[in-house]
Homo-oligomer: A and B are copies of this chain.
């Protein structure tokens, strides 16, 4: 999950406890729930995990890195539902993501680490690798499936395809986050439906960029 991937200098000595890792990440999430990002302290996490502070610092560089790893695990739960149509697939993902953002540990941590990352480039990379990419694959998978179904045309220009995927991703993730955390309004089925309708309508305008018309939302067709 985190930094020590290569057992580089495989020397003698006691190996690190994997149970400690698990306990620390779980303790971190619980501390986020109980205290929120700001009042969470590494000393408290160590105590909750039944671990010395040094053990914690041996593995993570600081609070931000630890929290990124702790919440990243939650993003593994996200998956693309195969609901039969692109529209309901999007609605499903939107609601899943909203449910994740509704959890207190995610809510308080996500914006905080993003804020940190604006002045910490390595942290931004870690967030991208651990969190953002986990979300973006859903967009890519959704498009592939829609293309399989024939709901979307195949993309001949791979550069343009990547650009469009990025756009769609920022629109979906951005809108849900903004609705949930900034506007602080509920992301319910009704909103998800209206939003999906907008995205699909816009998608044809964008990807089309010409006469490539697509039946955006099946329920709007009489």
Contact = CB atoms under 8 A, between A and B. Distances in A.
Contacts of A132: 182-183
A170 B179 contact: yes
A200 B202 contact: yes
Interface residues of A, number: 60
A17 interface: no
Contact of A175 (B36, B174, B203): B174
Contact of A197 (B112, B163, B206): B206
A132 to B, nearest CB: 6
A208 interface: yes
Interface of A: 36-38, 104, 107-112, 114-119, 124, 127-128, 132, 163-164, 166-167, 169-171, 173-179, 181-185, 191, 194-195, 197-206, 208-211, 216-217, 220, 222
Contacts of A176: 174
Contacts of A199: 198, 202
